[in-house]
Amino acid sequence: MHANAANRLLHHYRATARDLPWRARPGEPAPDPYRVWLSEVMLQQTTVAAVTPRFLRFVERWPTVEALAGAADEDILGEWAGLGYYARARNLIACARAVAVRGGFPETEEELRKLPGLGAYTAAAVAAIAFRQQAVVIDTNVERVVARLFALTAKTDVRAAAEAFWPPEHSGDFAQALMDLGATICRPKSSACSACPLLPDCKAAALGTPEAFPAKAAKKAKPHRFGVAWWSRHGEAVRLVRRPPKGMLGGMAALPGPEWCSEQPAANPIAIVRHEFTHFTLDLLIVPADHDEGWWQPLAELAKVGLPSLYRKAVDAALAAEREPRLAA
- Active-site residue, 40 included: yes
**How far apart are the C-alpha atoms of 89 and 66, rounded to whole Å?**
16
CB crowding 123-149: b at 16 or more within 10 Å, else e? bbbbbbbbbbbebbbbbebbbbbbbbb
The Cα-based distances of 38 to 75, 81, 104, 123, 308 in angstroms read: 16, 15, 14, 12, 20
**3-state class (DSSP) for residue 208:** coil
**How far apart are the C-alpha atoms of 148 and 153, rounded to whole Å?**
8
148-152 LR contacts (CB < 8 Å, sep 24+): 148/186, 148/191, 148/202, 148/203, 148/204, 148/205, 148/210, 148/213, 148/214, 149/5, 149/198, 149/201, 149/202, 149/203, 149/204, 150/203, 151/203, 151/204, 151/207, 151/213, 152/213, 152/214
The answer to whether residues 12 and 192 touch, using CB atoms and an 8 Å cutoff, is no
Cβ count within 10 A of residue 289:
14
Nearest to 96 by CA among 119, 123, 124, 67: 67
Nearest to 68 by CA among 42, 34, 102: 34
Q: Which of 28, 40, 163, 301 is catalytic?
A: 40
- Active-site amino acid positions: 40
